[in-house]
Structures are given as structure tokens and as C-alpha cells.
Amino acid sequence: MKTCLIVDDSRVIRKVSRHILETLGFDVSEAENGQTGLDACEMNMPDVVLLDWNMPVMTGIEFITQLRKRPGGNAPKVVFCTTENDVAHIREAISAGADEYVMKPFDHETLQIKLQLVGFA
């Protein structure tokens, strides 16, 4: 089964994302910040990471930078899910190792399209 880790400090976003991902056939786990997300990746590297930008403890950019340095850390497809929509933020995310980018709020169809673009829907 495809696996996805949702890394977002918003419980509501995690719940909505989980629901969408489970209907798409994913086994879903959650982390409320970048550090707990990295810890989860150490235990079991997911196929896909949905990643928030602005979080306490460790930002999304810090998370992806650390993830990509770890053994196996280049394997997961990372989709940034954020309210940051300017070109500079998108470039920074892609440069840091993100595979795709989706704006909040997003719906089932939008997330499914982004997952198709990275080969996982």
C-alpha cells in the first residue's frame, strides 16, 4: 500500500488531508511539526510527504533540507501544502527538494492531480 506522511501543525488540515488520502488508497500517518516528521521518517520512510511551510519547532524548508540529506531521504515525493503562493516561495521549495506545490485550501481533486503529477494517484 502507498504511504503518506502529513507534516502540518494544523489538526484540521491533517484531518482533511487524511480523509482525501485514504480515499485515494494511502496508508496515512501524521506529524504536527518538522521534527516529529523527521522522526517518523527515521522509523518508516513514506512514499509521499505532504508538507506545511510554516510550523513551530522546524519549518517545512528545514524539514525537507534535513530529509534530503538522510539515507533514503531522496525517495519520498514531497508536496508542499501552504498558503505561501508567491514565485519566490515556490522556487525556494523546489530548490530545497520539493517535487510539487499545492495551495491551501485545497480539495480532493486538486490534491489528486498533484499526486498524479508526482506519480502517486
pLDDT mean values, one per 10 residues, the chain (121 residues): 97 97 98 97 97 95 97 97 86 95 93 96 71
* pLDDT recorded at residue 84: 78
Distance, CA of 41 to CA of 1 (rounded, Å): 16
* pLDDT recorded at residue 83: 87
Considering Cα of 99, then 60, then 85, then 4, what sign does the dihedral take?
Answer: positive
43 with 67: CB under 8 angstroms? Answer: no
Phi, psi (rounded to 5 degrees) for 35: -65, -45
- Model's pTM, two decimal places? 0.96
